[in-house]
Amino acid sequence: MKPKIIFLHGSGTNVDIFRIQTRHLSSLLAPHFQLIYLAAPHPCPPGPGVLPFFEGCGPYLTWMDDRSPEKEHAYWGSGGGGGDANEGAGVKKALGGDEDGDGVGQGVVGVVGFSMGAKVGMEVVRRLEKEYEGGGAIRVKIMVAICGTVPFGGGGGDEDGAREKGWKESLGKGLVSAESVHLIGERDPWRGESEKLVQFFGEEGRRVLRFKGGHHMPVEDAVNRQVVRMILAACQES
């Protein structure tokens, strides 16, 4: 069985759209890994750049309401139990990351997340690492964050410093020890958040690749091949 890599799409898209968006990267990874695309749970309007190219390709989905740090915090909850306050556990369960999980977790070595999917992936990997230290079964070796947004950043203004306070509080929960690759578009309107997301990963194992583009998957063959080399190197380590 090939090792598995999980793909988490951005807000306002879906699995089918993300397969198209990641076609260059996935074609290079497919000979080495089983690629698994997970769908977000909530319907929403189309995301930035989705229209008009993906007109009629809905339903468009999102992982959470992250328009404020408070709304996003409600998505993740405090762990344990069920209900709306812990919807974030759904991704972890899909990976087999809890006691009741019968998902795809066995053999998962990497996570690729775009935009909101990147910060969801970061949080899931961080939680799985804590469980692994306590005897859990899943050890994610590498996280690829593409145009990622920052946890607890909120989507509104910053008049009261809530966004700054929110992401720093999340950062205070600890760093991700897995290796990471951060693809940051030089013209991405959310570039500042992508730069902040880098800080959630240990300095020794993180790599930052900046590409000439906006909030989208890089299409350059050289960039995608470099990412694949990094993933293979991380997964070949003991």
Find out whether 12 and 44 touch, Cβ atoms under 8 Å.
yes
pLDDT(140) > 80: yes
- Three-state helix/strand/coil letters over the chain: CCCEEEEECCCCECHHHHHHHCHHHHHHHCCCCEEEEECCCEECCCCCCCCCCCCCCCCCEECCCCCCHHHHHHHHCCCCCCCHHHCCHHHHHHCCCCCCCCCCCCCEEEEEEECHHHHHHHHHHHHHHHHHHCCCCCCCCEEEEECCCCCCCCCCCCCCCHHHHHHHHHHCCCCECCEEEEEEECCCCCHHHHHHHHCCECHHHEEEEEECCCCCCCCCHHHHHHHHHHHHHHHHCC
| Whole-Å CA distances, 154 to 11, 36, 66, 220 | 14, 28, 5, 31
Query: Model confidence over 220-234: pLDDT tens digits?
Result: 999 999 999 999 999
192 residue type, one letter:
G
Fold of 4-236: Rossmann fold (3.40.50)
189-204: average pLDDT = 96
Domain ranges of the chain: 4-236
Predicted model pTM:
0.89
- Name the nearest CA neighbour of 232 among 25, 19, 14, 10: 25
Q: Which of 113, 99, 100, 94 is nearest to 9 (CA)?
A: 113
In tens, the pLDDT along 71-97 reads: 887 777 644 333 344 455 556 665 654
pLDDT at residue number 141: 95
Least confident residue range of 14-18, 100-104, 212-216: 100-104
Angle between helix 162-171 and helix 69-76 axes, rounded to 10 deg: 30
